[in-house]
Structure 1
Amino acid sequence: VKPLSPVTTFLAGSFGLWTVDKMTARSSSSITIPCHYHRMFREHVKFWCRGKLWHTCVPVRDSQGRLSITDSPAELVVTLTMSNLQSRDAGRYWCAIKIGGFMKADVRTSLELLVTKDTPDLWVNNGTVSGPEGGNVSIDCFYSDKLKDTEKKWCRSGDLHSCQSEHGMHPSQHAQLHLSDAGRGCFTVTLVGLQREDAGWYWCMAAGIQVPVHLNVTAAPTTPNCTVFPELTSLPTPSASTSLLTSEILETSARVTSVEPRSTSSLISDKPTSPTTTGSPESKLTTWSTFPLAILTIHPSVAPSVKNSLHIWLGVLVTGGILLTAATVAALVWRQQMQCSRTHMTEDRMESAMHTVSKHQTHEHKTQDM
């Protein structure tokens, strides 16, 4: 680690390390306290200690698996997490960076932790919230009646000039910030249009008490691209008054009449056309089929669906034909087997009868010989 000069150490000690001033937590709960440092301390050793004075503080040790210290150089923050809080955990804690060297004191800052059996004066339900990039997220900061008339603020942890209140808003470089306090024990913070740069630590603050909140900004959900089918040029484009799919039913008259043939282009129209009769009564012959004829005008945007439907129906017909053929073959095989079985039975009976007749004839011959 590159050593720091005394002047740099003094300035860093004044402006290069900061955390919350006071926190209140309920017993048996868990808290995470962030401590921010300047990028010049990225490679230095960070530690937490506990004591009323700096010279008497003792480094925090995890003897029961309730404490953990995490350094995140990417966020320039070192955190102290404490679980299953007890009354004996209350006191002053110091966040410090080891500088080392002659006449170079360690850089440190401190906070006061209060542990109460009652509901804290300021708290949040969840110390970690998440929102998608481009989306919105809301954080509810709850407060007691003691802080009802106190100004509430929302601060970007690590930025000493970022604190904003409901009556002291100023534009943000990233997500839009909305603050609302109805005086009912809940101070709501809403961030609109989240960006990746908005991720990090924040504070709810009132009367010198801060509650840290960590915001995670996740990747925006992706929307799959829709496949655009090409326009069909073989069919005419319908007018604005027609729907996407229209049907024109042309039926011949119940009487045998002659219908004047029309071209295919004249059949596809917006209005039905009545059939015409030509020729003498003696020569009235039906030139069209007597079955109803449906002429479809299909909009290009729905043509693929119609095509898919035709493919489905074709598949159903082919499958039905295969099944019908298989059933027919099975029936023929079964019929052939039945005929063979009957033939065998008849032959067996005839053979048995002939055998019986032969026995009778033999018996008669023997009788005659005697």
Structure 2
Amino acid sequence: MVTATRDKGKGQRKKSLGQTLAGLVIGIVLWPVFLPYLFIHEPVIDLQSTVIILAAIVVSAVLALVIHEFGHAIAGVASGMAFMNMSIGPIVLIRSGGKKQIIFQKPALGYLGRAMLRFPEGVSEGEMESRLKRYVAGGPAANMVVAAFAVVLVYTILPSGVLLTFAIVNLLLGAANLIPTDSKGMMTDGKHLSMLSGKTPGKELVLISYRLMQEDAEGTDWSPETVAEAEELIRLQPDHPLTPALYASLSPYYIPENPSVAEVLGRGIAFRERDQKIDPLQDMADIAMVHVLYAAGKLASEPEIRTKLVQIGDAEKVTRLFRDAYLAYLDEQPGQLSNCLEELERVLGQWHSLYLEGMYEKGRVLALRQLLNDPHHQ
């Protein structure tokens, strides 16, 4: 245990050093982009120009985010993937029920932007890997291309501090996204590319996640072979940051017929010691195990179940509300349980940025709602 803790500490220090070095490289690259402009044009720094540049930074950040996500979407479609949804802040473009519509919703897992695509038909693992690389790289590449074009304009026919600011913001967003890092359930494009290239562990986990989404993005109509492969990966890579998310995605497959299988699979994944205070993917794995234990009729008898529920954080609202609902059930508080279920139905709505149609989650809400009419249901 001490050795594992030391290794984990070394890994964190190595990760921090790598991010620091990457940041320094980005800073060094930026100097020759904007420093010549200061010498050539000698801009006046006063209150008015400062306000203009600050406003330009804000607008550029929004536009850079839009460019980034459209870069992903265009690269994905060009690689044969099908569009599912795209978030730009609270604005979400979705394809649901064969129709496209715009809704307003808080982004999933804290992402400021997100473009979600899937493979509509079977492709080989090697082909999926190469297409995913293009899709993931499309976002940073779009920012870099736009930044380069803007810099050329600034130093040729259109000198402008505002345009230069736009170029720098795009360059920063594109370059920062290529740093292979992750935090609080969010992974950069660079981390995904690193995994897909085999430089860091996790390629198989990324590929199986897209395979599940390809076979059935809204439910659990997966082939036995795909399920068996996902199970094996969970057993082989229990400590990978993506494994809790894979378990959370796979667990509905076993409910209601074989919840005990999901229980065995989830031991060692759910309710484990946390490396960071905010860990939404671990929260999702924990609540997935709670669903499984409830379906198996074992929730009340699970050792220290209240302590395990309380450690589930508030980072993701649906997970938090399920936590509170199960605590209300265990504490025999039907009024609190009813309030949580009503709020869950409201939050899930017609469509959710993380759970999509949310059929499984709505089924868990219905199962818990039956307790209000039959307190001895379980």
**TMscore range, shorter length:** under 0.3
TM-score by length of 1: 0.23
TM-score by length of 2: 0.23
Higher strand share: 1
Structure with higher Rg: it is 1
